Amino acid sequence: MQETKEKVSVLFVCMGNICRSPTAEGVFRHVVTAADADDRLEIDSAGTHAYHVGEPPDRRSQAAAERRGYSLSALRARRVSSDDFERFDLILGMDRLNVESLKASSGAVHHHKIRLFLDYTDGDEMEVPDPYYGGERGFEYVLDLVEDASKGLLKTLLR
């Protein structure tokens, strides 16, 4: 009889859940599907703030993602809840401020789950920059970072 593995659950987090974290969710879902690992992972995204709850990802995030073959259109912003700290095995902040906010709103027992998403790359960047107030190139750069980190994350989780 083959041993069955429990699903690993991953939550991507940025401030408003309309740019970076839904991009990470969409790209990581794509990478996971391409690796035929959908049955092994649970994936979601959320924001540390409730500015955009219920809204779709920023149109510029969606457009940049669409140009690379990722669809974010079905996603809707939500705020991190206290249940998320129990539910998810890995909670990945897009920047240090997100990580600090997550740790401040969770119990110390959950701190080991909270990391920077770019910990899963070999690149020099430590944080995924917020493209919201910048130009189109910022959204492309976010995708570059997220694609790289998604591959590294999947490789780590499937070991």
pLDDT of amino acid 3: 46
| Residue of 14, 29, 58, 60 with catalytic role | 14
Catalytic residue among 20, 29, 60, 78: 20
Q: What is the pTM of this model?
A: 0.95
At residue 74, φ and ψ (nearest 5 deg) are -85, -10
Marked catalytic residue, from 44, 84, 95, 130: 130
Active site residue 130: yes
Closest CA to 58 of 136, 114, 155: 136
Give the alpha-carbon dihedral of 75, 145, 97, 52, to 10 degrees: -20
pLDDT at 70: 98
Which pLDDT does position 23 carry in this prediction?
Answer: 98
Is residue 82 domain-resident?
Answer: yes
State residue 5's pLDDT score.
55
Look at the chain and report how many structural domains it folds into: 1
Specify the pLDDT at position 159.
86
pLDDT in tens, 114-139: 999 999 999 899 999 999 998 899 99
Q: Residue 21 belongs to what domain range?
A: 8-157
Q: What angle do CA 110, 76, 24 make, to 5 degrees?
A: 60
Q: In Å, how far from its chain's centre is CA 74?
A: 15
Residue 99 domain flag: yes
Residue 65: what pLDDT?
A: 98
| 1 is a domain residue | no
What CATH number is attached to the domain comprising 94?
Answer: 3.40.50.2300
Q: Is 3 inside a domain boundary?
A: no
Does some domain include residue 2?
Answer: no
In terms of C-beta density within 10 A (0-12 exposed, 13-18 middle, 19 or more buried), how is residue 141 classed?
Answer: middle
Whole-angstrom distance, CA of residue 108 vs CA of residue 127:
23
Return the pLDDT at 2.
44
CB 110 within 8 A of CB 130: no
| Residue spans of the chain under pLDDT 50 | 1-4
19 is annotated as an active-site residue: no
